[in-house]
Structure 1
Amino acid sequence: MKVDNVKNHRQSGYLLTRRIVSWAKWFVEQEVSPGDICVDATVGNGNDTLFLAECAGAQGRVYGFDIQSNAIENTKQKLAAAGMQKRVSLIQNSHAFMGNYLAPGTIKAVMFNLGYLPGGNPDLITEPESTVQALDAALHLLQKGGIITVASYRGHAGATEEYTSVNKFLTKLNSEKYKVLRLEPINHDNLPPVLFVAQRY
């Protein structure tokens, strides 16, 4: 593949990823109102955390989880620059344990952005087992009408296994309690990112 083609291919993948994340935000915006409590299950560099803080407003609250100290620090800096740090509690722990910090039936939205920390160590990735545990915990935290979004990637080592686990878990949810959407491009040769959206009735 020529260098220009490689560059275009990477740029296309980047734009596709951004669109998936934009769709996730759109779904969250339809449900979250000022005063709501939200969770960023994978804070990364803080983009989704800041977005949720803006949606929840000054009377709301956002809880952000990440196991990496540099992710927590990057997010702190982003929130401080936007004057949003007082709206957010950052917790350096696995998202699998979010149920230890929050009460069932109190959360309006939970956002997952799976994979590795952009700009960080690509060998440190979200794992199928803990991600499914976190999804199960998130379902118990949701209030009626609450929503979960999961941006799942399939282009790095271990990603396909995680996608498969997430897809299997969400597919088996009771259709009388949850509605689940899977949004993905269907005309790409590579493995594009996929967005899952689950809402509690």
Structure 2
Amino acid sequence: MINWFSAAKLGHHFIAEKLQAGDTAVDGTMGNGHDTLILAQLVGPTGKVWAFDIQAQALANTRERLATAGVLDERIELIQDGHEYIKKYVSHPIQAAIYNLGYLPGGDHAIITLTETTLTAIRDTLDLLAAGGRMVVVVYPGHPGGDREKEAVEAYLARLDAREYKVLKCNFLNRPATAPGVILIEKGGGRN
């Protein structure tokens, strides 16, 4: 059963519809490893997941979550670097990517994703996305800087060529404007 009213769970559903065993995926904001684990389970032992975060604590938390789930193996590459450097590590097409913007839950809330680096990461991830692939961006405008980042991400994605990309924005109508939202991007072509 899908929890349609959790931004992160809705993002997982959008990715799970497309990602298959043997595929490749990126978690652009590793955090506590929830998204990394979902991606690893979806791609299976023959797939590949690259997960990025700048904080050592995020890598430690993710490593522990993956080990507990029994999926900490060669299919997953945990990278302590900014997501704006994705092309330094990933050079071939990916089928899916997920970004949960903001800060590390349970971590230092002063360390946040930044508009400029996030836009670079999204642009480069779209370049890497295979035909028919999907990217999910979960935006959190409720923290300092989050509203600016959300607006910039939405403005960038709104300008994508509609013949090449489908972009869907999901927001909750009866929650404050600071509530998280989900943006789904699907690249044209590929498998259905």
TM-score tier, shorter chain, comes to over 0.9
Are residues 1:176 and 2:163 paired?
yes
Pick from 96, 101, 115 the counterpart of residue 89 of structure 2. Answer: 101
Question: How far did 1:190 drift?
Answer: 4.2
Equivalent residue for 1:149? 136
Are residues 1:56 and 2:43 paired?
yes
TM (normalized to structure 2)? Answer: 0.93
Structure 2 unmatched ranges of 5 or more: none
Aligned ranges for residues 1-201 of structure 1 at < 5 Å? 19-86=6-73, 87-104=75-92, 106-201=93-188
Structure 1 Cα separation of the partners of residues 107 and 4 of structure 2: 18
| Count, aligned residues | 185
| Aligned partner of residue 39 in structure 1, secondary structure | strand
Structure 2 counterpart of 1:99, one-letter code: K
Of structures 1 and 2, the larger Rg is shown by 1
Larger helix proportion of the pair: 1
Q: Any idea what the Cα deviations from partners look like across 1:145-199, whole Å, max 9, x if unmatched?
A: 1100000011111100000110011000011111000000122244211100001
Structure 2 Cα separation of the partners of residues 186 and 170 of structure 1: 21
Structure 2 Cα separation of the partners of residues 42 and 189 of structure 1: 24
Q: Any idea what the Cα deviations from partners look like across 1:47-77, whole Å, max 9, x if unmatched?
A: 0000000000010010000000110111111
Structure 1 counterpart of 2:76, one-letter code: V
% of aligned pairs identical? 37
TM (normalized to structure 1)? Answer: 0.89
8 A contact 2:30–2:59 mirrored in 1 = yes
Q: Any idea what the Cα deviations from partners look like across 1:82-136, whole Å, max 9, x if unmatched?
A: 11111210010000010111124x1010000000001100000000000000000
| Aligned partner of residue 31 in structure 1, secondary structure | coil
Q: 1:159 to 1:54 in 2, by over 3 A?
A: same
